[in-house]
Amino acid sequence: MADKHHEVKSATENASDYQKESQNRSGGSPGGEWYEVTFSIPWIVKKVDSGQDAINIAVSEVGKRITPAKNPIREIDISVQKIRCADCETSTDALLMVSKTGLVGLLLTMEAKGTTYEEAITVAKREIGPKLPEIPLTAVRDQSKA
């Protein structure tokens, strides 16, 4: 029978390994800048009587699922997307109502930490994605925050 060697690490070494692993999962270095990342998401609300009810429920449901994480995400804002008419230049909420079912277009704006904007998007998707399974997260704006 082969001799098995067990490596025993101190608590400090284990903590250091955990920190390195966390940095790799979060997209790299613990530093970086805060970037404003905005995602466009669709949200379906069933059995509603009005468009305003659909909007209120959509914002509430997403808000319950997304709570600001510690680090590397902060200050999450949920708002309703606007659709602008090319002819008359007026805008309206991104909402479609059919048979008491509403499709609401929402914007999730947050600050995510990364060394680049692209890394911040990846970090934000990694943090938000599991809280919104099967919901596409489409980045729609590139703005750096200091």
**pLDDT of 30 strictly over 90:** no
- Confidence (pTM): 0.73
pLDDT in tens, 49-66: 999 999 999 999 999 999
Residue 115's pLDDT is: 95
Q: In the chain, what's the furthest Cα-to-Cα distance?
A: 81
Give kind and range of the element (H or E) at residue 146: none
* Strand stretches in 22-137, DSSP E: 33-46, 73-80, 82-84, 91-93, 95-98, 101-114
CB within 8 Å of 146: residues ≥ 6 apart: 33, 34
* 1-5, 69-73, 90-94, 141-145: the lowest-pLDDT one: 1-5
- The domain segmentation of the chain, as residue ranges, is 42-145
| pLDDT number for residue 72 | 81
Q: Between 31 and 98, whose confidence is greater? A: 98
- pLDDT band per the 50, 70, 90 thresholds, residue 101: very high
